[in-house]
Amino acid sequence: MLFARSVAVRFFLLALTFFLLARSDQVEASQQPFVEWLKGLNEEAAKKGIRKEILVSALTGVKLIPRVVELDRKQPEFSLTFSQYMERVVPNSRVNKGRKKLAENRALLEEVGVKFGVQPRFIVALWGIETDFGRVTGGFKLIPALVTMAYDGRRSKYFRRELINALKILNGNHIRVNDMVGSWAGAMGQCQFMPSSFLNFAIDYDGDGRKDIWSTKADVFGSAANYLSSSGWKRDQTWGRAVTLPDGFASELANLKVKKTINEWQAIGVRRDNGSDLPRRDMKASIVYTEGEGSSAYMVYDNYRTILKWNRSTYFAVAVGTLADRIGGR
């Protein structure tokens, strides 16, 4: 009971902290009339080197989008369990489609994979989970969406930075303002990069002078691979595997901070999910639960940590790895 109360108090204090931070951010943004705020944005962007014609085309007549605010503030009525999430994100139909996409683009994917040291099946898996292989990339005009998020106030500082970054992308002539579409929160293209990720990791793989993650597969695959490679991907390793844990397994060992060799996990009693011995490889791994003690367990390697840099969700990282394995016939 004491532990439960302690956890509840910590959650309350954490929620209160986020609420106060959001409120302080909101006061800073929303006290200012939109016209004045927009004028200040134009001045800031100009000082950061954004050309006047870009500012005119992107910000003249821009309007706030109430639907974006609604989506940002909407709280889900329930959370998916891990099994529900996996059924939704890694269905057989997506596995089959992923295998087809891998075959259709094999030459390009293998070329990109060799250049960046990333196995093609992982590039395809990320592509599939993020946008269903480029089919669903978001239907919002990115600049108005980011303007709305930056002005709204809940996370105005963060989204103002992303808005400036989006203007920098336009300034680099990578895409036209009317073609710059994405999610309501600002994620763009077939690999769903935020503008900051675009500036850090997007590449012009086909050499046409533009980093086109919206419609050019070479740039999409190259940018995704560059993100993983720059974030620490190891070309000679996979991501992890489902495992079974022995009776009496100490739950504190299921932590990314705890690293042991595969042989050490074997000695403790950890086995593959089919009950067979773990692979014989001289590398370290960690054990993670998907939903806390007693839930599905995975033994994960450093590439799993790299996937977490793309998206911090355990569900997401396991789904990417699982889809990659199934696409690759593993």
Cα separations in angstroms, 52 against 43, 144, 163, 167:
10, 18, 16, 11
- Give domain status of residue 31, yes or no: yes
Q: How many domains does the chain have?
A: 1
Mean pLDDT of 14-43: 66
Cα four-point dihedral sign 202, 320, 91, 80:
negative
Q: What is the DSSP letter of 76?
A: P
DSSP 276-329: PPPP--S-EEEEEESSSTTS-EEEE-HHHHHHHHH---HHHHHHHHHHHHHHTT
Contact between 171 and 211 (Cβ < 8 Å) = no
**41 located within any domain:** yes
DSSP string, 86-116: HHHHS-HHHHHHHHHHHHHTHHHHHHHHHHH
The CA-based angle 214-219-221, given to 5 degrees, is: 100
Could you tell me if residue 105 is inside a domain?
no
Residue 153 — pLDDT band, cuts 50, 70, 90?
Answer: confident
Burial of 317 by CB count in 10 Å (0-12 exposed, 13-18 middle, 19+ buried)? buried
Residue at 16 is within a domain: no
Range in 17-21, 270-274, 298-302 with the lowest mean pLDDT: 17-21
Domain with 207 in it:
21-74+138-230
**CATH code, domain with 66:** 1.10.8.350
Position 152 in a domain: yes
Residue 27: its pLDDT value, please?
Answer: 38
| CA 232 to each of CA 194, 228, 303, 304: distance values in angstroms, whole numbers, following the listed order | 19, 7, 8, 10
pLDDT digits (tens, 9 = 90+) for 166-196: 999 999 999 999 999 999 999 999 999 999 9
243 beta partners:
272, 297
Tens-place pLDDT, residues 229-284:
999 999 999 999 999 999 999 999 999 999 999 999 999 999 999 999 999 999 99
Q: Is residue 115 assigned to a domain?
A: no
Residue 262 belongs to some domain of the structure? no
- Sequence length of the chain is 330
pLDDT band at 32 (very low <50, low <70, confident <90, very high): confident
Closest CA to 124 of 106, 148, 151: 106
| DSSP secondary structure letters along 24-64 | HHHHHHHTS-HHHHHHHHHHHHHHTT--HHHHHHHHTT---
Q: Would the pTM count as exceeding 0.85?
A: yes
